[in-house]
């Protein structure tokens, strides 16, 4: 269940098919550096507490490191290493001139005040600022981080360097140089990928049932986008509760209920269900949009969906992948499906560099082209090599990263 071990299994399979040189494969098996620091933060009661923080900078052969920062009590060094590897692959799959990074702090942000979160966020930048910047490493929001946290980090960085540098971080509020379309980008990118797959399979949205595990930013936006496009979203769940309606949920009303009550529980006209039960529903499309390792060899045999669309990072383990491939279940990998977020983050960097900003329609148009092109490139690799979609995506990504490494003189 170690996410980094899982990531390396994925790399090894692609490297074997590509006949990658031992030197390049060995370099790709470890990050360039992993930064670690103990952040001292003054709490509201005057007490000083320490929090463990990480930043993994995996590979920058194609461009500056890029990747989110998560605040979660379960953050580990191996997790951020795995996520930074996947970010390297994700940027390569969609053809972005970026490498991969990831950061995290071991903390439960729900137990902190806004002022404590601000001091924690500024402390992170103080610890790692020498390694961050528009041409070095560009962070972004991730689990339990948001635009406000990015704004505090940007402000701290600019205070330290003494000049404006909006491109040092993405996912910012619009007022500070954020991009339109960023909040929905991960879900919108995934929706573009799903529609291309449905076209390949000859399925229509109105005849496609969907269940979504995870009702945070990505999952909730995905539910709304698919519902509006005509898909029948029969079930959604968050970390504490879930709801299901055989003939489909009114996602607008579900969102209103969650906003009003803070929970999915008690939504009128739907049955309650657990996260585990949601995963095994008889639906056409299952979308894991929560945390990694949600689907393992222990529950993979119970999955009845024909398509799994990974909106979360690493929700399906390699052992589960093998089970799905044998059963004929199509698993669309995270490094393709959820790459819409980093793609619009890249758009944000470009707009910051130009100091010229695009409309929602321009962002959507550019995002759709990149996601559609990436889907077909992955599908082509899958068909050519007779492999599953994840392996097809890794073949595409690893080949692109290795090519950049060779051009830089490695062999």
Q: Where in the sequence numbering do the catalytic residues fall? A: 102
> In 3D, which of 339, 398, 370, 411 has the Cα closest to residue 58?
398
DSSP code per residue over 298-320: TTGGG---SEEE--SSS-B-HHH
> In 3D, which of 174, 147, 173, 177 has the Cα closest to residue 164?
177
Sequence-distant (≥ 6) Cβ neighbours of residue 237 within 8 angstroms: 212, 213, 214, 215, 243, 264, 273, 274, 275, 278
Buried b / exposed e over 153-183, threshold 16 CB at 10 Å, is bbebbeeeeeeebbbbbbbbeeeebbbbbbb
Structural tokens at position 349: 């960097």
In this structure, what are the phi and psi dihedrals at residue 272, rounded to the nearest 5 degrees? -80, 150
Q: How many CB atoms lie within 10 A of CB 78?
A: 17
Sequence-distant (≥ 6) Cβ neighbours of residue 88 within 8 angstroms: 58, 59, 99, 100, 397, 401
Please, is 136 exposed, middle or buried when counting C-beta atoms within 10 Å of its C-beta (0-12, 13-18, 19+)?
Answer: middle
Distance CA 166, CA 82 (A): 27
> In 3D, which of 190, 195, 193, 183 has the Cα closest to residue 212?
190
Beta bridge partners of 254: none
Strands (DSSP E) along 95-207, which ranges?
100-106, 137-141
Distance CA 62, CA 64 (A): 7
């Amino acid at each position: 269940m170690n996410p980094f071990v899982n990531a390396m299994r994925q790399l090894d399979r692609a490297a074997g098919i590509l006949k990658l040189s031992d030197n390049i494969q060995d370099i790709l098996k470890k990050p360039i550096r992993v930064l670690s620091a103990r952040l001292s933060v003054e709490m509201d009661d005057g007490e000083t507490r320490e929090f463990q923080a990480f930043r993994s900078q995996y590979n920058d052969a194609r461009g500056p490191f890029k990747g989110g920062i998560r605040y979660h009590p379960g953050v580990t060094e191996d997790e951020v290493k795995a996520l930074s590897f996947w970010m390297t692959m994700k940027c390569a799959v969609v053809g972005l001139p970026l490498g991969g990074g990831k950061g995290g702090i071991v903390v439960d942000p729900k137990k902190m005040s806004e002022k404590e979160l601000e001091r924690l966020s500024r402390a992170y930048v103080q610890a790692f600022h020498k390694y961050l910047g528009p041409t070095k490493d560009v962070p972004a929001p991730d689990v339990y981080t948001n635009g406000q946290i990015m704004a505090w980090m940007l402000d701290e960085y600019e205070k330290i360097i003494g000049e404006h540098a909006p491109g040092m971080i993405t996912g910012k509020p619009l007022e500070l140089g954020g991009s339109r379309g960023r909040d929905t980008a991960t879900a919108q990118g995934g929706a573009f990928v799903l529609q291309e797959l449905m076209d390949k399979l000859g399925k229509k949205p109105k005849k496609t049932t969907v269940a979504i595990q995870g009702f945070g930013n990505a999952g909730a936006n995905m539910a709304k986008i698919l519902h509006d496009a005509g898909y029948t979203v029969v079930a959604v769940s968050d970390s504490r509760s879930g709801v299901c309606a055989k003939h489909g949920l009114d996602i607008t009303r579900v969102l209103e209920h969650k906003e009003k009550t803070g929970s999915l529980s008690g939504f009128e006209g739907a049955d309650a269900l657990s996260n585990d039960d949601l995963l095994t529903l008889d639906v056409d499309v299952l979308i894991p949009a929560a945390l990694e390792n949600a689907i393992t060899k222990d529950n993979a045999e119970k999955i009845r969906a024909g398509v799994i669309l990974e909106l979360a990072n690493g929700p399906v383990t390699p052992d589960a992948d093998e089970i799905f491939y044998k059963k004929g279940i199509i698993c669309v990998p995270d490094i393709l499906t959820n790459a819409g977020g980093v793609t619009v983050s890249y758009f944000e960097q470009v707009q910051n560099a130009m100091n010229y900003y695009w409309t929602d329609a321009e962002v959507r148009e550019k995002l759709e082209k990149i996601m559609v092109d990436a889907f077909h490139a992955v599908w082509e690799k899958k068909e050519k090599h007779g492999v599953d979609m994840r392996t097809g995506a890794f073949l595409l990504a690893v080949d692109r990263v290795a090519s950049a490494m060779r051009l830089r003189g490695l062999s």
